[in-house]
A = this chain, B = another copy of it.
C-alpha cells in the first residue's frame, strides 16, 4: 500500500504547534517529540508505510488523558491511541500528524473480583501481564490474539484469536469500559452486572471502534476458571474439504472445543522446517479441549471418531502439559515460520471470516489464487469461527510484488464478502481495509458515519481510519 492510497487527513499546523506547546508545559518529559520515538509509534506489525505523529504523550492516569484530549479538542488536533503497536492494519499511523497517546504507563490491574469472575484493568496492561497477575487465583483471561498486545488495544480492535470458538472475542469479554470521548468527558459504558438491558449497548459500540470514538482508559473483563484438565493434539486430513467438514461436525455436535486451528500444507511445511518437527505436511487441525479429566478424554475420543469419518487422522492427543506446550508453540510460531521461508521478505498478514459452510470453498479458491501469485503465502486459521489468515511473503523493494500482493488481498476480501463473510474477522479495518467496508456493510456505513459525526464532530479521534470521509 502506497502512502498515496491512504485516506488523506489535512494537517492543522497551527493547531498542532499550539497544542504541543501547551502539552509540553503541562507534561514535560512525558511528552516526547524525538524522531525515534515518533517513528516507533507509527510502527506496527504491518507493511503499511509509517506515518509518525508529531509527539507522543505517556499519561499516568485517566485524568491526564482527559486533560490532553481537551487540549487537542480545543486546537482540533488528531489523537491516535497507542497500546503495543502490534495492530496489523495501520491503526496507529498518524496521517494528519497530531498526538499519539501511549498507554504503556497505565498498566495497573485495578481490581480482581474472583467471586464474580471479572477484573478491572487499565488499558496498558497486556494479556500476559494480566494472566501473570492472576496466577494464584485459579482464574485466567482467555483471549489470545498471538501478540502480547495491550488489553486496551485488543478491546479497540475487537481482537480474538485461537480460543474464541470457546470463549468468544473481546466483544463477549468486555463487561464494561471507561473511555475519554472526543470532548474530554469520561464515560463508563455499563456497570459490572453480567448482563443488562439498560439502554444502548455503549460497551459494544466502543469495542472495535479502533480509537475513532474515544480512548479507552479502563475495562472490566470476564475471567474464567482454569480448567481441571486440558488435552490437545494434531490431526492430519487428506484435503481442506475433509478438515472443514470435520470442523463443522465438531461444532454441530456441540463438542465444546477450546481451540480448533487449521494450517494448510504450505503452513505445515514451514512449521516443520522452522521448529524442527515432523508433523504430516498436508492440511492439519490443531485442537485443544478444556474440561474435567473425563470430559477432555470424551471430547478427544469424539473428535477422533469425527476425523476418521472424513478420512482424517490418526488423531494423537495428550493431556501432558509439556507436549501441549510444544504443539501450541509451533502453532504460535507460524508467523515466524512463514517469515523464515523467505529471508528478507516482509509479511502481509491479512484475515477474513466466512460462514463455516463456505470455509472449504473459500480456502481452496484462495490456495488456487496463491498458486498464481508467485510468492509463498501459508494459510492458518481459527476455523471454528470460519476465520483464516494468509501471510503473503513479499519483497518490499519489488513494487510489482507489493502491487500483486495487494491485488490478491483485495480479491480475498471480495471473495469473503461474496460468501456472506467479512473482510476482517479480527484484525480490524484501520487504514488497510477501508476500501472494503462499504462493499461489506452497504448503507450501514452511513449509520457508522452519523455516529462518528455525532460523537466526534471535529474528527480528531484517530482520523483517517475505518471510515472514508466520516464528515461527508
> Are A444's CB and B202's CB within 8 A?
yes
> Are B196's CB and A425's CB within 8 A?
yes
A275: interface (CB < 8 Å): no
Residue of B nearest to A171 (CB): B201
Residue of B nearest to A172 (CB): B172
| Chain B proximity mask over A244-270: 1 for CB below 8 Å, otherwise 0 | 000010011110100000000000000
User: Residues of B contacting A199 with CB < 8 Å?
Assistant: 208, 429, 437, 441, 444-445, 448, 466-467
User: In this complex, which of A189, A256, A292 has the most chain B Cβ atoms within 10 angstroms of its Cβ?
Assistant: A292
A316: interface (CB < 8 Å): no
Would you list which residues of chain A between 186 and 212 have a CB under 8 Å from chain B? 186-202, 204-205, 207-209
A451: interface (CB < 8 Å): yes
User: Residues of B contacting A445 with CB < 8 Å?
Assistant: 199
A107: interface (CB < 8 Å): no
Q: Which of B168, B193, B248, B454 has a CB less than 8 Å from the CB of A386?
A: B193
Residues of A in contact, count (CB < 8 Å): 97
User: Residues of B contacting A386 with CB < 8 Å?
Assistant: 116, 193-194
> Which stretch in A157-165, A305-313, A338-346 binds the other chain?
A157-165
> Are B420's CB and A353's CB within 8 A?
no
> Which stretch in A57-65, A323-331, A354-362 binds the other chain?
A354-362
Residue of B nearest to A186 (CB): B443
> Are A444's CB and B187's CB within 8 A?
yes
A224: interface (CB < 8 Å): yes
A433: interface (CB < 8 Å): yes
* Minimum C-beta distance from A383 to chain B (A): 10
| Chain B proximity mask over A116-144: 1 for CB below 8 Å, otherwise 0 | 11100000000000000000001000000
User: Residues of B contacting A442 with CB < 8 Å?
Assistant: 187-188
Q: State the copy count for this chain.
A: 2
Residue of B nearest to A89 (CB): B197
Q: Which of B213, B356, B421 has a CB less than 8 Å from the CB of A191?
A: B421
Residue of B nearest to A352 (CB): B193
A291 to B295, CA, bound (A): 10
A79: interface (CB < 8 Å): no
> Are A115's CB and B204's CB within 8 A?
no
With contacts A198-B429, A355-B192 taken as known, whether A447 is within 8 angstroms of B181 at the C-beta atoms is yes
A43: interface (CB < 8 Å): no
With contacts A116-B355, A225-B253 taken as known, whether A196 is within 8 angstroms of B447 at the C-beta atoms is no
A369: interface (CB < 8 Å): no
Q: Which of B195, B254, B290, B436 has a CB less than 8 Å from the CB of A227?
A: B254
A375: interface (CB < 8 Å): no
Residue of B nearest to A204 (CB): B204
> Are B256's CB and A256's CB within 8 A?
yes
A387: interface (CB < 8 Å): yes
Q: CB within 8 Å of B: which residues of A?
A: 113-118, 138, 157-160, 164, 168-169, 171-172, 181, 185-202, 204-205, 207-209, 213, 224-225, 227-228, 248, 251-254, 256, 290-292, 294-295, 298, 302, 353-357, 385-387, 416-417, 420-429, 433, 436-437, 440-448, 450-451, 453-455, 466-467
A sample of 5 more A-B contacts (CB under 8 A), given A195-B426, A198-B424, A199-B445, is A115-B252, A158-B197, A197-B427, A204-B204, A205-B205
29 contacts between A and B (CB under 8 A): A115-B356, A116-B357, A118-B355, A157-B197, A158-B197, A164-B195, A189-B444, A190-B422, A191-B420, A192-B421, A193-B386, A193-B416, A194-B356, A195-B422, A197-B422, A198-B423, A198-B424, A198-B441, A199-B429, A199-B437, A201-B204, A201-B208, A202-B441, A292-B302, A295-B298, A450-B454, A450-B455, A451-B451, A451-B455
